[in-house]
Amino acid sequence: MGAQWKQKGRTEHAAAKGRLFTKLVKEIIVAAKAGGPDPSSNPRLRMAMEQAKKNSMPRDTLERAIKKGAGLLDEPVNYELVTYEGFAPHQVPVIVECLTENKNRTATNIRVLFRKGQLASSGAVSWDFNRLGVIEATPPEGGADAETAAIEAGAQDLEAAEEGATRFLTNPTELDAVSKALAGLGWTVSSQNLAWIAKNPVHLEGEARTEVESFLEAMDEDDDVQNIYVGLK
């Protein structure tokens, strides 16, 4: 199933780790601004903080991002979410979400990045995606049946994720409730977010797939690009 694309091994080098920190800081700022600085009552911030800690973000950087987002510093930053739709090489559908304080700069960069594909108008691609809540979680010690957990927690669907985890899919409005229910069943939730999931992902192999992955890697290296969703199996 086509889902969020993540560059493999992108934290291996200092420059790549810096780009990852930039994206994580933006998410923390936006989450704190939208839901306040208390992670216990702000699930989006809680998940962003956990991802930051998982990637060894310095504590000072993390705390400063929270304060900046909550308006507790004299340096207000207003990031806007801008979404672009288009096609990677070989007509693979792509949705790109950007967080930016300068939409003109971002639009110029995205147009350049789409030269090896095709930038499309709003709605030209998103009709072939579902907007869903996505939760990644690992079972409790001793194991547990993922399908049973999905039914009991109220998830719509599920699929295998990496490293023994399971990806649970939900209605967007039920994301936090299902996440809490899974935690109550003993599952460890590693991430939860809203995502675009492709209805008809394309299967590619060989050189064609390499071309698409190179296109996505170049897109991901732009600091304004926050999430990439691709219809690729």
User: What pLDDT sits at residue 2?
Assistant: 47
pTM of the model: 0.87
| Selection from 8, 22, 197 nearest residue 101 by Cα | 22
Please name the amino acid found at residue 74: D
CATH number 3.40.50.300 given to 80-127+199-230: no
Q: Are 82 and 100 in contact (CB under 8 A)?
A: yes
Q: What is the pLDDT of residues 134-147, one digit of tens each?
A: 999 999 988 889 99
- DSSP lists the bridge partners of residue 88 as 92
Domain boundaries, the chain: 14-69, 80-127+199-230, 130-198
Q: Which CATH class is domain 14-69?
A: mainly alpha
Confirm whether 80-127+199-230 and 130-198 share one CATH topology.
Answer: yes
Cross-sheet strand order for the sheet of 92-100:
118-120, 80-88, 92-100, 225-230
Q: What is the pLDDT of residue 147?
A: 94
Q: Which residues of 193-228 are buried (b: 16+ CB within 10 A; e: fewer)?
A: bebbbbeebbebeeeebebbbebbeebbebebbbbb
Strands (E) across 12-161 are located at: 80-88, 92-100, 118-120, 129-138, 157-160
Positions of the chain with pLDDT lower than 50, given as ranges: 1-2, 9-12
Q: Please name the fold of domain 130-198.
A: Alpha-Beta Plaits (3.30.70)
